[in-house]
Amino acid sequence: MPKTPDYFQGKTIVITGAASGIGRAAALIFAREGANVVCADLNEAGAKETAALVNAKGSQALAIKLDVTKRAQVDDTVKRAIGAFGTVHFLFNSAGAAIRRSKFLEIDDDLVEKTFDLNVKGTLYGMQAVLPHMLENKFGVIVNVGSMAHRRGGPGSSIHYAAAKGAVVTMTMGVAREFASQGIRALSISPGPVRTPFQDAAATSPELAKKFLEDVPMGRFGEAGEIAELVLFMCSDACEFMTADTVYVNGGGGWR
Ligand SMILES: NC(=O)c1ccc[n+]([C@@H]2O[C@H](COP(=O)([O-])OP(=O)(O)OC[C@H]3O[C@@H](n4cnc5c(N)ncnc54)[C@H](O)[C@@H]3O)[C@@H](O)[C@H]2O)c1
């Protein structure tokens, strides 16, 4: 997928949410390409497991316990990544969740705060932590995760989450445009339903799961690797004119 063979060899990516789902799939794909992978997650055991899988592919890994809602921890993660590998070329902010499902009138302050802390502040902190380093190197690619939900508003179950992902998509666009002339690219991916533990939590009822599937023309959930391959492409030198936008990966729809 990169234009140059071995493009990722020896380059370094920091991945948040690396213990599970799309974050772990990305870690394994970057490991396949020979990149060093910093596996950061609140779930320390899971991050270590991902790091071991990266090592098993012959790449170097660093597992870090990280709560992305804590700015100091995010800053420290980036420092440790630079300390271990010298340069951080890529950041993939995959940590995110809907926290819980709720009808709009039942969304309380606690749910709003937790959802925005994790999805919005967690993404903002990562970008602010790594950008000074990337600017110094005049190179860096940041990939964030939005959601189809941001296009559709999440009625009935997840307006809080859809709004937070809307903020992620907008923030990504702003960062991309602010730093576009300084060697930085930033993109987001907006997946439809992907088969990960996130969906296990989301599909709290068989009716909800059925509703998700009926909305996808391909009639199936996406796989984590199908999102993670796009992260690789976005970070590669085959994608150098692309920045700011979100890319929908959704089996053909989910627009109604
Ligand atoms: N799976 C889907 O259908 C789907 C659809 C659209 C968007 N997304 C988004 O994709 C991203 C990845 O989700 P996934 O499906 O791989 O889910 P997942 O639950 O498999 O993985 C999320 C990871 O984030 C970690 N995490 C949660 N809170 C954290 C925190 N405070 N600090 C650090 N790590 C934390 C979890 O421990 C977990 O390992 C999320 O941003 C999610 O909102 C998922």
Dist CA 243 CA 139 (whole Å): 13
Query: Is the pLDDT score of 144 beyond 90?
Result: yes
Share of the chain above pLDDT 70, in %: 97
Does any domain span residue 140? yes
97 lines ligand 1 (CB under 6 A): yes
Range of the domain at 206: 12-248
* pLDDT score for 206: 77
Q: Is 222 in the pocket of ligand 1 (CB under 6 A)?
A: no
State residue 203's pLDDT score.
62
- How much of the chain, in percent, has pLDDT values that exceed 90? 91
Q: Strand pairing of 140-145 and 90-93?
A: parallel
Whether 94 is in a domain gets the answer: yes
The Å distance, Cα 99 to ligand 1 centre, comes to 10
Angle between helices 122-137 and 71-85 (to 10 degrees): 30
Is the CB of residue 46 below 6 angstroms from any atom belonging to ligand 1?
yes
161 is catalytic: yes
Assigned domain for 102 exists = yes
CATH number at residue 130: 3.40.50.720
The predicted-structure confidence for 167-214, as pLDDT tens digits, reads as follows: 999 999 999 999 999 999 999 999 999 999 988 766 667 777 787 788
What is the distance in A from the centroid of ligand 1 to the CA of 4? Answer: 31
Q: How many domains does the chain have?
A: 1
- 8 A C-beta contact, residue 149 and residue 168: no
Confidence of residue 255 (pLDDT cuts 50, 70, 90): low
4 assigned to some structural domain: no
**pTM exceeds cut of 0.95:** yes
pLDDT tens figures, 201-249: 666 677 777 877 888 999 999 999 999 999 999 999 999 999 999 999 9
Residue 6 in domain: no
* 253 in a structural domain: no
How many angstroms does the Cα of residue 181 sit away from the middle of ligand 1?
A: 31
> Tens of pLDDT along 97-132?
999 999 999 999 999 999 999 999 999 999 999 999
Tell me the mean pLDDT in the region 69-79. Answer: 98
| Mutation choice for ligand 1 from 14, 16, 22, CB with most ligand atoms inside 8 A | 22
Is the pLDDT at 47 greater than 90? The verdict is yes
The answer as to whether 127 is a domain residue is yes
Please name every residue paired with 190 in a beta bridge, in sequence order, or none if there are none. Answer: 248
Distance CA 220, CA 151 (A): 20
Atom of ligand 1 nearest to the CA of 118: 31
**Is the pLDDT reported for residue 256 higher than 60?**
no
Question: 244 is written with which tokens?
Answer: 């700011």
Phi and psi torsions of 161, nearest 5° = -70, -45
Q: Is the CB of 183 under 6 A from ligand 1?
A: no
Do residues 227 and 194 touch, judged by C-beta distance below 8 A?
yes
254 pLDDT band (50/70/90 cuts)?
Answer: low
pLDDT score, position 201: 67
Cα–Cα dist 19/96, whole Å: 12
What's the CA gap between 63 and 20, in Å, rounded?
Answer: 13
* Residues 225 and 119: beta-carbon distance below 8 Å: no
Compute, in angstroms, the gap from residue 193 CA to the centroid of ligand 1. Answer: 12
Q: What is the pLDDT of residue 133?
A: 98
The answer to whether residue 227 sits within a structural domain is: yes
Query: Does residue 138 contact residue 109 with C-beta atoms inside 8 Å?
Result: no
